[in-house]
Amino acid sequence: MIEFVWLIPAIMFLAALVNGLGVRRLGKTAGHIAWMAMALCCVISFVVLFQVIGLSHDPHWAGTKILLWHWFDIPNFFGPNRTFSVEMAFHVDQLTTVFLCFVSFIGTLVFIYATGYMKEKHGGHLELDPGYARFFAFVCLFAASMFTLVLGANLAVMFIGWEGVGLCSYLLIGYYFDKPFSENLSCADAGRKAFVVNRIGDAGLLIGIGLLFWGLGTLDFAQINDVLISGKLADGSPIPDSFKYGGLLITAATLCMFFGATGKSAQIPLFTWLPDAMAGPTPVSALIHAATMVTAGVYMVARMNVAYFLSPGTMAVVAIIGALTAFAAATMGLTQRGIKKALAYSTVSQLGYMFLGLGVGAMAGGIFHVFTHAFFKGCLFLAAGSVIHALHHEEDMFKMGGLKKYMPKTWLAYAMATLAIAGFPLTSGFFSKDEILYSAWLSAGDGVPVLWIIGVITAVMTAIYMGRTLFLTFHGKERLDDHAREHVHESPSNMTMPILVLGGLGLIVGFLNVPHALTFGVLPEAKFHHFLAPVVDRGAEHVAALRGFETDHATGMVPSGPLIVAGNVGEDLLPTAQHHHAELLLAISSAALGILGLGIAWWFFGAGLTERSRKLARTFQPLWKLSFHRWWWDDFYNTVFRDGTMLKARAVWKTDVAVVDGAVVGIAEGCRSIGRGLRRIQNGQVQTYGLVMFIGICMFLLYFAFGLNNFLSQSLDETQGRKVLQMEPSKRSLQGTEVQIEEPAREIVLKD
């Protein structure tokens, strides 16, 4: 089946095409085509998964490449012998398979959910949304792009998917293209914002790709790894020094590519598009802006882990940016009123966790958090969508409350997912967050674990804001307006089934990757990590070998990643029994903090919106404002970058009209006025002509009679003589003789 893995994107593309062409005729069928195509992809993905599990017993198997055709081939005819050769090729290995499986699985559930969501009750009977088939065409195209992204065997093919998901995101955010989104942003604006912000990141990614090609002569993932590890280019010559461990250019390249990742994965400084991306239909928010597309940046970093491990500077930046984003977004999520807005900031924050994990070297941990996050965040968004759908597009949590009794199934799913994301013990979020935090702790070595502290504070805040959304929405007094109260109902089963499945899985998938400290000798240890290790631990292994420490230890893996990154690894710091002890302690403390956070949320919001919660906001007014206005981050960007660029553009255009075109027009005008002036000379008066003629004749006579030409030739000789002088002085040794030659020449001139 692996050879036919290209079927997965092909099927989705075909589904998109069918839906797109039949956009007017298909009606309800469009949804069925879409979810069935996705389900088929899911089946293929799982078949591939089992094959890959079988294949990965062979330690020499490093993925299978499926070459479709040669995309570009531009040989370098002169200069260094490297062909710019890009294949349209797919590559299947453990990392790819993991992404294929969870994207297609969650995608199927979301598509089924969407067939219910994209209908409205109008006067008693259900009506399809006017853009029903268009919606499914776009989401199918999205899925095709996402699969291309994770399957691509080289950076260029990945980039097709990378831009493709960006495009679909643009189209889907702007799906309600004639509706306003917030007071100063229409849905179409939000879509454009997403595309442009992503594009800014992509520019960085392109530079990074260019740098890598220039240093390594290839864009193929497998070859990049081989070249970096062996230190030899394809033609056998050594790689440039600046592409070796800690080199300047590998750092620059990885940093540029990480800039691309901050765009796609909504990290500081490019995260501002994601909260506005909630303008799209909710299934889109769940699938694209929570579960799959935004993880593309994480995927890319993990995919390029060898390059990233080789540049500790970049790794530090990744970790710091991740931690800061996690923290900042969590503070912003604390006070948002829209349920989707709050979830959006939660997504940004969780993505920050993932990058924190990657940055401290826990590549598998980061990917595992992507995996678990996809389940519980997908569930949260879909459940929120179920609420919004039931209340007829009411998103403000302050106008909800007490929905538990109307929508018990939705509540159940939402509560399960909240537990998971808050890190309640033994839920999936607990395991995945714990691994990241443990690595952050280790990465500090002997120093103060700043990153860990930020991570833990964020974990508490996560629990608080998630608890807040849960309690404000489902608990306490009802604050519905009349219109919403009329409509409130539990969603149909094609919507509740997917969210219950996702919520339930969100609780238990964590057991796929139980850390050593928590196995208690019973549970299988770190299966997920073991599975991914051949791909994502390659960089750590290489750098460990490079810098001469043992990779082998009790667990048989390389969790020494963080230590390598920290750069202060000694024998004594390698994970030992003592560290596992610490891991257990850390796990217990972070779990306790999660429960504490939920408790705080319950204390303030358990009874809904009460005097107690209002007082909290009043007491910390400045902080509340900072959080509610999202640190004024958007306003800053809008003023400085958006308006600033437009201002500059206007200035440039004014310059174009006034100066550049002005010069052209000026020359034309100049010619015209010269012509106008010269016209006066030809005035038809014989006297004037005679005078001019006379002056001319006089000048000729003067010229010949008074030896003017002699004078001219004389000065010409003089200049030539000087030239000789100027040309020679460099030959200092000959100066003396030259002067002798020179002097008579000058005398002759003077005598004349």
CA 61 – CA 59 distance, rounded (Å): 6
Of the pair 578, 740, the CB lying nearest other proteins is at 740
Of the pair 166, 608, the CB lying nearest other proteins is at 166
Residue 598 and residue 463 in contact, taking contact as beta carbons nearer than 8 Å: yes
CA 305 – CA 358 distance, rounded (Å): 9
The minimum distance between CB 159 and other proteins, in angstroms, equals 5
The minimum distance between CB 205 and other proteins, in angstroms, equals 10
The minimum distance between CB 108 and other proteins, in angstroms, equals 25
Instruction: Report the interface residues with other proteins, using CB under 8 A.
Output: 20, 23, 69-80, 84, 88, 156, 159-160, 162-164, 167, 170, 174, 177-178, 186, 188-189, 192, 195-196, 199-200, 202-203, 206-207, 209-211, 213-215, 240-243, 247-249, 645-646, 648-650, 652-653, 656, 660-661, 663-664, 668, 732-733, 735-736, 739
Q: Residue written as tokens 């199927």?
A: 108
Residue type, 20: G
How would you class 218 by CB atoms within 10 Å of its CB: exposed for 0-12, middle for 13-18, buried for 19 or more? buried
The minimum distance between CB 707 and other proteins, in angstroms, equals 26
Q: How many CA atoms lie within 13 A of 371 on its CB side?
A: 28
CA 36 – CA 40 distance, rounded (Å): 6
Of the pair 200, 415, the CB lying nearest other proteins is at 200
Of the pair 274, 451, the CB lying nearest other proteins is at 274
Alpha helices in 682-730 (DSSP H): 686-705, 708-727
Of the pair 215, 539, the CB lying nearest other proteins is at 215
Tell me how long the chain is.
752
| Closest CA relative to residue 510, chosen from 375, 691, 314 | 375
Of the pair 84, 603, the CB lying nearest other proteins is at 84
Of the pair 169, 590, the CB lying nearest other proteins is at 169
The minimum distance between CB 743 and other proteins, in angstroms, equals 9
Reduced to 3 states, what is the DSSP secondary structure of residue 180? strand
Q: What is the DSSP string of 92-119?
A: E-HHHHHHHHHHHHHHHHHHHHHHHHTE
The minimum distance between CB 652 and other proteins, in angstroms, equals 4
CA 73 – CA 69 distance, rounded (Å): 11
The minimum distance between CB 293 and other proteins, in angstroms, equals 16
CA 262 – CA 265 distance, rounded (Å): 5
Q: Residue written as tokens 């969650």?
A: 106
Of the pair 577, 658, the CB lying nearest other proteins is at 658
Of the pair 293, 557, the CB lying nearest other proteins is at 293
Of the pair 20, 445, the CB lying nearest other proteins is at 20
Of the pair 73, 550, the CB lying nearest other proteins is at 73
Of the pair 60, 732, the CB lying nearest other proteins is at 732
The minimum distance between CB 644 and other proteins, in angstroms, equals 12
The minimum distance between CB 227 and other proteins, in angstroms, equals 14
Strand pairing class (84-92; 125-128): unpaired
The minimum distance between CB 263 and other proteins, in angstroms, equals 11
The minimum distance between CB 83 and other proteins, in angstroms, equals 9
Say which residues have a Cβ less than 8 Å from residue 555's Cβ, sequence separation at least 6: 516, 525, 526, 575
Of the pair 223, 610, the CB lying nearest other proteins is at 223
CA 59 from chain centre, in angstroms, equals: 32
Q: What angle do CA 186, 191, 194 make, to 5 degrees?
A: 125
CA-based torsion, 346, 347, 352, 354: positive or negative: positive
Q: Which two tokens stand for residue 714?
A: 């004389």
CA 679 – CA 325 distance, rounded (Å): 73
The minimum distance between CB 140 and other proteins, in angstroms, equals 15
| Closest CA relative to residue 598, chosen from 745, 746, 475 | 475
Of the pair 207, 588, the CB lying nearest other proteins is at 207
CA 504 – CA 509 distance, rounded (Å): 9
Of the pair 244, 399, the CB lying nearest other proteins is at 244
Alpha helices in 537-643 (DSSP H): 538-546, 561-566, 577-605, 611-619, 621-628, 633-637
CA 391 – CA 388 distance, rounded (Å): 5
CA 578 from chain centre, in angstroms, equals: 38
| Closest CA relative to residue 391, chosen from 382, 403, 381, 378 | 403
CA 652 – CA 603 distance, rounded (Å): 57
The minimum distance between CB 553 and other proteins, in angstroms, equals 32
| Closest CA relative to residue 104, chosen from 156, 62, 48 | 48
**Terminal C-alpha separation, the chain:** 100
Of the pair 200, 584, the CB lying nearest other proteins is at 200
The minimum distance between CB 742 and other proteins, in angstroms, equals 9
The minimum distance between CB 193 and other proteins, in angstroms, equals 10
CA 41 – CA 150 distance, rounded (Å): 14
The minimum distance between CB 203 and other proteins, in angstroms, equals 4
Reduced to 3 states, what is the DSSP secondary structure of residue 405? helix
The minimum distance between CB 637 and other proteins, in angstroms, equals 14
Reduced to 3 states, what is the DSSP secondary structure of residue 503? helix
CA 639 – CA 173 distance, rounded (Å): 23
Nearest-Å Rg of the Cα atoms of the chain is: 35
Of the pair 75, 521, the CB lying nearest other proteins is at 75
The minimum distance between CB 737 and other proteins, in angstroms, equals 11
Residue 333 and residue 465 in contact, taking contact as beta carbons nearer than 8 Å: yes
Which helix H or strand E contains 506, and what residues bound it? helix 493-508
Q: Which two tokens stand for residue 413?
A: 């799913």
Of the pair 227, 384, the CB lying nearest other proteins is at 227
